[in-house]
């Protein structure tokens, strides 16, 4: 116990594992298929989509902004991808095209918010709305699946690399790159400095606006990479593809930050794993999405509450007030 107390990281890791174990035990007892190999594959594939979105969102949260547009941008990316595939672009071109649209949309968000200083929440609600509108242009809102078999996009979901599912490989690769950038480079320092004290960061010579811009760009691009995997698994691109990305991403970032003390890539991955473990369990139990969404939202509220330093000090005070023996 003393070892745990002296190392807050060990304590947080234990809390995370206990929580994960608890979720697994509860679902396993209701649905015996929960821990089967097949379902774990499904869980990890599901986690890949949410994890990529959440990694992008992590950058935005680290610079202390909000992005509510990425679901809309992801839909636009999905439709761009589908339209390009249907019009005989190569798989490579189409995937790059979809991600590029996300990057551009994110950069538009970022430049409007950091250089024109418009409020982030309202701005991203609006740009997200615009992106959804644009996504209807390709096919008047009907889903696109032409050429999908031929193009090989389905392999993004089905193929394996070193006995791991491809989506998981892509998530891990993205997570490793993001981890190095955010935690081992000068750029990561600058992202954190910008978020934690923008004024002192600027006074230290950091181009804070450029970092805010970059964070939004990454968020848009990664949301579109995530939606590419979702399109690959469902075999069709449709205009509502991005709708289910919002809650899990925010919940993952905040739950991770609450568990591990601050937003970071490992924290986000941990948060995503918890969220996917829950969402997958609800699917297995055939709980309708509107209930599971409500539960996920409750978890999000709780996570924000715990993330709030006022509440943590209050809780910390409760624990430390116990008489020491």
Question: Which residues contact other proteins by CB under 8 A?
Answer: 180-181, 184-187, 189-190, 192-193, 196-197, 199-207
Q: How far is the CB of 40 from other proteins (least distance, A)?
A: 35
The closest of 66, 97, 84 to 219, measured between CA atoms, is 66
> Which one, 309 or 317, has the nearer CB to other proteins?
309
Angle formed at CA 193 by CA 257 and CA 53, multiple of 5 degrees: 45
Q: What secondary structure does DSSP assign to 263-300, as a single string?
A: --HHHHHHHHHHHHHHHHHHHHTT--HHHHHHHHHHHH
Q: How far is the CB of 181 from other proteins (least distance, A)?
A: 8
Q: How far is the CB of 193 from other proteins (least distance, A)?
A: 5
Q: How far is the CB of 248 from other proteins (least distance, A)?
A: 28
The closest of 65, 55, 20 to 175, measured between CA atoms, is 55
> Which one, 102 or 195, has the nearer CB to other proteins?
195
Angle formed at CA 104 by CA 103 and CA 107, multiple of 5 degrees: 85
> Which one, 41 or 64, has the nearer CB to other proteins?
64
* Element of type H or E holding 161: strand 160-161
Q: How far is the CB of 62 from other proteins (least distance, A)?
A: 13
Tell me how far apart the terminal alpha carbons of the chain are, to the nearest angstrom: 13
> Which one, 148 or 211, has the nearer CB to other proteins?
211
Residue 291 CA to residue 282 CA, distance in Å, equals 9
Q: How far is the CB of 253 from other proteins (least distance, A)?
A: 18
Residue 256 CA to residue 261 CA, distance in Å, equals 8
* Element of type H or E holding 164: strand 164-165
> Which one, 180 or 287, has the nearer CB to other proteins?
180
> Which one, 199 or 325, has the nearer CB to other proteins?
199
The closest of 138, 155, 154 to 82, measured between CA atoms, is 138
Q: How far is the CB of 218 from other proteins (least distance, A)?
A: 15
> Which one, 136 or 187, has the nearer CB to other proteins?
187
In this structure, how many other beta carbons lie within 10 angstroms of the beta carbon of residue 2? Answer: 6
């Amino acid at each position: 116990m003393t070892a745990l107390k002296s190392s807050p990281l060990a304590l947080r890791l234990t809390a995370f594992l206990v929580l994960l174990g608890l979720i697994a035990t509860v679902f396993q007892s209701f649905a015996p298929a929960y821990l089967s190999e097949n379902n774990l594959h499904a869980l990890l594939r599901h986690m890949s989509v949410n994890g990529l979105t959440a990694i992008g969102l992590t950058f935005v949260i680290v610079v202390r902004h909000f992005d509510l547009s990425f679901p809309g941008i992801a839909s636009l990316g999905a439709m761009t991808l589908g339209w390009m595939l249907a019009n005989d672009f190569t798989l490579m071109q189409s995937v790059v095209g979809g991600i590029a649209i996300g990057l551009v949309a994110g950069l538009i968000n970022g430049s409007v918010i950091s250089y024109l200083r418009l409020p982030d929440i309202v701005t991203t609600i609006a740009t997200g709305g615009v992106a959804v509108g644009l996504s209807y242009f390709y096919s008047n809102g009907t889903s696109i699946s032409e050429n999908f078999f031929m193009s090989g996009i389905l392999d993004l979901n089905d193929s394996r690399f070193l006995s791991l599912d491809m989506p998981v490989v892509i998530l891990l690769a993205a997570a490793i790159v993001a981890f190095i950038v955010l935690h081992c480079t000068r750029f990561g320092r600058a992202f954190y400095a910008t978020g934690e004290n923008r004024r002192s960061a600027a006074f230290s010579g950091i181009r804070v606006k450029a970092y805010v811009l970059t964070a939004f760009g990454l968020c848009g691009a990664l949301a579109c990479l995530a939606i590419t995997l979702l399109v690959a698994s469902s075999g069709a691109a449709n205009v509502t593809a991005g709708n289910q990305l919002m809650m899990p991403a925010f919940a993952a970032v905040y739950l991770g930050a609450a568990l591990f003390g601050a937003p970071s890539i490992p924290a986000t991955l941990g948060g995503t794993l918890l969220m996917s473990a829950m969402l997958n369990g609800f699917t297995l139990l055939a709980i309708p999405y509107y209930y599971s969404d409500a539960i996920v939202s409750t978890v999000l509220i709780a996570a924000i509450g715990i993330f709030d330093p006022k509440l943590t000090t209050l809780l910390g005070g409760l624990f430390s007030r116990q008489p020491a023996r």
